[in-house]
Amino acid sequence: MSAEIIFVILLDEGVDVWRPVRAEHLQGDEYRILDQPRGDGETWQFLPGSRVICERRELSDAWVLAAAHEAGL
């Protein structure tokens, strides 16, 4: 299994802050966030183990895959 990088928004930051995280591509736009350390005080919108649907999003003048919502919702 090879990990890819997706972005997850951090909650309670006051401004939009996106964290790059390692994820396993499952199918289509669906990814599973892999276990990995989180920064002290960081609250991720989606935790490791979550299955998420990603959408392309422009962040800092680059297009990335960003977790939009949990898979199956």
Structure tokens at 4: 């890819």
Q: Are strands 30-33 and 62-70 parallel, antiparallel or unpaired?
A: unpaired
Q: What are 28-73's pLDDT values in tens digits?
A: 999 999 999 888 889 999 999 999 999 999 998 899 999 999 998 6
DSSP string, 4-39: EEEEEEESSSSS-EEEEEEEEEEETTEEEEPP----
Nearest-angstrom CA–CA distance, 1 and 13: 32
Nearest-angstrom CA–CA distance, 53 and 41: 25
pLDDT for 1 equals 67
pLDDT for 73 equals 67
21 confidence band (pLDDT: 50, 70, 90):
very high
State pTM to two decimals.
0.91
Q: What are 1-20's pLDDT values in tens digits?
A: 679 999 999 999 989 999 99
